[in-house]
A and B are shown apart, each in its own frame.
Chain A
Amino acid sequence: MSAARHVMSVTVRDRPGVLVRIAGLFARRGFNIESLSVAQSEEPGVSRTTFVVNGEDSVLEQVQKQLQKLIDVIKVIDHSQAKFVDRELMLIKVAVRTPEDRVEIRQIAQDFRARIVDVARHALVFEVTGDEGKMNAFIAQMRDFGIVELIRTGRVALPRSESDPERLPSVRSRAA
């Protein structure tokens, strides 16, 4: 049995309490969630959540089956079984002590394509998106200057695109 990180997408019906059910299930069965993000999907009334869960394959199989048992859960996908793209968003507030620091921080941020979203006399807030490695590298760089606070959304993921045009969803006429 190998312990590995799994990225899972769960589509759920937008019902009150559905997150409590999922969180309760994880807690009750002793599964550890590393990150979790939830928001509306392309379909009204349906939310897509992305979990990063750590555990042995057998444990993950149980997670998946138990999630699938929840009535409001529509679909569970373990992305480790196929190719997927994933991103994370981070807001990070970095201390600026000297004008030299300011220049250097901005230079590093540029290399990371981090956007400045707030400027203050003694701090800068950056928005960084990307994969986990990029987040961690940026955090490591900023530690030298002093991180005031940061927040990360946790990973969001989608399977890579279908190559079959037949399987694309129908669209409303674009002529109008």
Chain B
Amino acid sequence: MKGAEALLKALERHGVDTVFGHPGGAILPVYDALYDSPIKHVLVRHEQAGAHAADAYYRASGRVGVCFATSGPGATNLVTGLATAQMDSSAVVAVTGNVATSLIGTDAFQEADVYGITAPVTKHNYLVKNVDDIPRVVAEAFHIASTGRPGPVLIDLPKDVQQAEFHGSFDVEIDLPGYRPTLTGHAKQVRKAAEAVRAARRPVMMVGGGGQVASEEVMAFARKKGIPVITTLMGIGAYPAGERQALRMPGMHGTVTANRAITHCDLILGAGLRFDDRVTGKISRFAPNATVVHVDIDPAEISKLVKAHVPVVGDLREVLPRLADALDRLEIDDWWEQLEEWKGMYPERYKTTQPLVSQEVIQLLHQATGGECVVTTEVGQHQMFAARLFPTKRPRTFITSGGLGTMGFGLPAAIGAAFARPGEQVVLIAGDGSVQMNIQELATLYKHQLPVVVAILNNGVLGMVRQWQEMFSAKRYSEIYLADSNPDFAKLAEAYGLDGYNVFDRETAAEVVPRALAKGKPAVINFFVYEAEKVFPMIPAGAGVDEMIVGDQEPDDAPAPDPSEVPA
């Protein structure tokens, strides 16, 4: 057996049945071995798409996503995908070929220092020099990627190592003395957390991406204790947005209720989140009256940005049930009354103009699917609209690039999600800007006839950039105009063999959406939408959560937080 076969066998032993990748010279031995392997390989048309697909495969299923790429340009193309996975804590194992060990360091053809380049964007990485190490390295890679705070791991495999005769064993022991994630919350800290929550009169629970793996525990805790729940962009689906207790998304484009709750609350129970700057706004104005209880599996996230008064390092699945046991149902009726009032004052709203607006298209998709599908998004205005108007009900079903904000993520992510959850409808909500960043994946979509509907909210501009330029650069619109050179997306879809629709008005939209979904096959729907629509509410970058702009430049009329005035 050669190293390449040993690699595939080791992957099989970790339950891998699907790999996303693109071959090339330095990884030829692996692709040769793949020819006889039961592992299914999905040929993407760009390595970046392979990494995103593997990332979304994990996010949608909880099973580690795997991607392959060749050396040099193949591997450097993975970098954006790895960084995306790293920022959003997604378990990915990437395998790259490299030039033979004798050539490493000589600037050989298609050589790049992949080990060095990927170290900052992975949880860990390996350069394998001894063929017999392959099973151990694969075992460690899967262990590191999927435990603790998940993240991507890269294995760089020189060509001669792939070709060398393998004499090792597959029964390997993981030897990682420096890696012992803390899963069990410290008893004293859990007790302190319970005391703090018990003492609070205006508490909120804030759930982030960590909630995707602990959705049951989050729901059980919230329902039993009656605590209001805010879910960040990464936490969408961890707690159903339709529930009475849901205050939904916080931060830059969050709901008024969620952001007001943050400003006025006296306790934040943070669960599996990292208080990203898009969530906190200006730190000094974030939750000025709150005791912060922060439960996270990664100790480095605690007190990194927002000071935690009660840190609890551990797995939410372990900590939340214990915290629940230590607490009675919270008596916070006055607080709820206030929150309900805000909710009533600020429902989701938008003006329907002619032409179509993005928001109504998203609502149409939401209605047509009943929210029972997997949503992936690109990055920009449409992403925020989707987060607000297409919140999915179940965990692992709203897949978006939160931390890195990677345009080009959505289409390959839709492919990865479709492989992870066969038989389920996938809807990609995209903009005309970002969808073009990995548009070549329409070929992969066609080849595998995946049930993905690509909804392009085509406003002819880079909408989010346009919004910032309108609001903060005195309408000096710089390099945002796409409409004069966009392709005809329906024709483009047809060129790839897919169904393509151009939709100009709401009557056609209402007719096409259910029709395209009913077919259960891939389709591209190109919705021409209003160019100047903006995402509101909005907290300008660097401003405080309480400085939210609710409507078109209309300031939030809420008074500045004063602990003596808010309901106690």
| Chain A positions near chain B (C-beta within 8 angstroms) | 12-13, 16-17, 20-21, 24, 28, 58, 61-62, 65-66, 68-75
Contact = CB atoms under 8 A, between A and B. Distances in A.
Chain B interface size, under 10 / 10 to 19 / 20 to 34 / 35 or more? 10 to 19
Contacts of A69: 298, 300
B123 interface: yes
Contacts, number: 37
Nearest to A21: B119
Interface in B93-121: 115-116, 119-120
Interface stretch (B175-183, B331-339, B378-386, B468-476): B175-183
B116 A68 contact: no
Nearest to B181: A69
Interface of B: 115-116, 119-120, 123-124, 127, 144, 176-179, 298-300, 303-304
Given A58-B303, A62-B300, A65-B300, A73 B178 contact: yes
A140 to B, nearest CB: 40
Contact of B144 (A20, A21, A28, A71): A71
Nearest to A16: B127
A9 to B, nearest CB: 14
A72 B119 contact: no
A16 B303 CA distance: 32
Given A21-B119, A28-B120, A71-B144, A62 B178 contact: no
A27 to B, nearest CB: 9
Contact of A13 (B178, B298, B303): B178
Contacts of B116: 17, 20
Nearest to A70: B178
Contact of B178 (A16, A28, A66, A74): A74
A20 B177 CA distance: 19
Nearest to B177: A74
Given A20-B119, A28-B120, A66 B176 contact: no
B177 A13 contact: yes
29 contacts: A12-B178, A13-B177, A13-B178, A16-B127, A17-B115, A17-B116, A17-B119, A17-B127, A20-B119, A21-B119, A24-B120, A58-B303, A61-B303, A62-B304, A65-B299, A65-B300, A66-B300, A68-B300, A69-B298, A69-B300, A71-B124, A71-B144, A71-B176, A71-B178, A71-B179, A73-B178, A74-B177, A74-B178, A75-B178
Contacts of B179: 71
Contacts of B177: 13, 74
B151 to A, nearest CB: 10
Contacts of B119: 17, 20-21, 24
